[in-house]
Structure 1
């Protein structure tokens, strides 16, 4: 059997891909839940978002390094410049997202974070030379309208948490450009390991200025953030290897449902009508974008 046919066989497992993506969604929402607990007074004195993101990279790097020692994968020379750009934006996006979770419902923060593929699409115009058609522009407009609703500008004061989540989406959208460039050069596991190593370095410098001794419960939560994030990344990468991106992506939007469920169970916070309206516009726009991308590849 040829390498090509092996790849095709690997991408013909939609049920497993959907299951892995749902697991990734549950894990990703879990990291935001723990970040909210750490950023409020739930587990002790609130920790700075810089310290929470440090815990995320520290324990994720430990988990991924353990897997690397067991699997012993082959590595190639990394494109350090691209990795540095990707990791800096990723660290910034994660830190801002964790900060947002302390101020607004998890469902709102999660919905706004779904803007990142739209931001990545727009940034691909100048940086990757991609052309944007009417469908892409339309989905971008609808998504940003949803974000504007979640910012709640007519409530008398713009929600700080929503602004932080929007900034996170911008950073994560920029990160997608670097991920696309890296994916052409290196294997997913190498990208994941190098990303977490650089992210740990950046976050270790940043946390020096805000460090506070965590309580035992906070240490467990910090470990949970890192391990759950590593698990989410691993599940999502494996899902992408087993089905087309256009099939996998919509399942990842169930992260919003998990976030709303966790918020309701732990913090007794329920999304209001504005939350559902804004989230529906963003997710609807993202799904349309994925569908259109799939049609474009079929036409070509």
Structure 2
């Protein structure tokens, strides 16, 4: 078993905010790769391949230097978790080529809602009125962001919605892995399996990237590795209910990157939909955090 980290809420908050900046950077790089800014647009499978390749190279280098103690992995859970995670990031990378980063990021925040729903059949969890209310609020925000009118509907937004479903499924498998293995071990195995899956998928669509595109793919992988490292270490140093609000800083960074690099300013629909989704997801996170405390013996929500 791995030794738990010393609790440090301030450091945890800083690590989560750093993770948010890196996560938003991966979507920024993916957007550049999925458009013709630096050559022929790359297929989302190819962008995902770069993400797992360079993330594994980064983590592998760290492992060679630090020589951490690794636990024996539960391969079945890792395979299920990584497959759903690969599908989620691939759909996310596909969506940002067509819609603003802020919209795609906000829709992806539905993943804890879908994780809650999928936990019913997969984990046998009971869901009460407060958790259903949180899910309903978040889904209303998603409907606003989807702009379901003939003039405003963006089909690519459905890709981001699919990403949220896949990442929600990943959350269910992550819950099963919690307590079994240390953070670094989980990251290393996740990216190794992910590279195998992504390598098979990209073999059907591979095109030769330009030098700039190779650099951007390296940026996607290194930024994701940094984000994962910050996130798991932040989560290990404070309660989930404390760090949850800071995780929504991803949307702030995504909006800032959109303005800085593409001149896209979030409109009122984006702000309203994102605020509603975050409100619902935050309510769910806070209720989950309250239920997780062993001293708070409450009936199922």
Regarding TM over 0.5, the answer is yes
TM-score, scaled to structure 2: 0.95
Give the counterpart of 2:208 among 209, 213, 216: 213
Matched, 1:103 2:129: no
Q: Decide whether the 8 Å contact of 1:109 with 1:161 is kept in 2.
A: no
* d(CA) in 2 for partners of 1:157, 1:30: 27
Unaligned ranges ≥5, structure 1: none
How far did 1:198 drift? 0.6
Distance in 2, Cα, partners of 1:293 & 1:175: 17
The aligned counterpart of 1:260 is 255
TM-score by length of 1: 0.95
Task: Answer yes or no: is the 8 Å Cα contact 2:108–2:164 preserved in 1.
Answer: yes
Counterpart CA distance in 2 for 1:83 and 1:259 is 29
1:270 aligns with 2:262: no
Match of 2:19 in 1: 24
Is the CA contact (8 Å cut-off) linking 1:100 and 1:160 kept in structure 2? no
The 10-residue stretch of structure 1 (50-59 or 269-278) with the greater mean CA deviation from structure 2: 269-278
In structure 2, the residue matched to 1:10 is 6
CA distance in 1, matches of 2:180, 2:105: 30
Q: Does 1:248 align with 2:243?
A: yes
Alignment of 1:20-169 (within 5 A): 20-156=15-151, 158-169=153-164
Shift in Å, 1:262: 0.1
> What value does the CA root-mean-square deviation take over the aligned residues?
1.6
Task: Output the CA distance in 2 between the equivalents of 1:37 and 1:232.
Answer: 19
Residue range with higher mean Cα deviation, 153-162 or 60-69 = 153-162
Matched, 1:289 2:257: no
Q: Which runs of 4+ in 1 moved over 4 A?
A: none
Runs of 5+ consecutive residues of structure 2 not aligned to the other structure: none
Structure 1: distance between partners of 2:13 and 2:151:
42
Residue 77 of structure 1: how far off its partner (Å)? 2.2
Preserved CA contact (<8 Å) 1:112 1:147: yes
- Which residue number in structure 2 is paired with residue 194 of structure 1? 189
- CA offsets 1:236-293 (integer angstroms, 9 cap, x no match): 1111111111111110101000000001110111111111111111101111112212
**Which structure has more helix as a fraction of its residues?**
1
- CA distance in structure 2 between the aligned counterparts of 1:169 and 1:175, rounded to whole angstroms: 10
What is the CA–CA distance in structure 2 between the aligned matches of 1:259 and 1:246, rounded to whole Å?
23
CA–CA separation in structure 1 for the residues paired with 2:100 and 2:71: 42
How far is 1:160 from its partner? 1.9
The CA deviation string for residues 173-194 of structure 1, in whole angstroms up to 9 with x for no partner, is: 0011111111232222111111
* Partners of 1:179 and 1:293 in 2: CA distance: 15
> Residue in 1 aligned with 2:226?
231
d(CA) in 1 for partners of 2:235 and 2:94? 29
2: CA distance, partners of 1:163 / 1:114: 14
Deviation at 1:157, TM superposition (A): 6.2
Post-superposition Cα deviations, 1:46-94, rounded to whole Å, max 9, x if no partner, equal 1111100000000000001111111212223211111111111111100
Kindly tell me the number of residue pairs found equivalent between the two proteins: 295
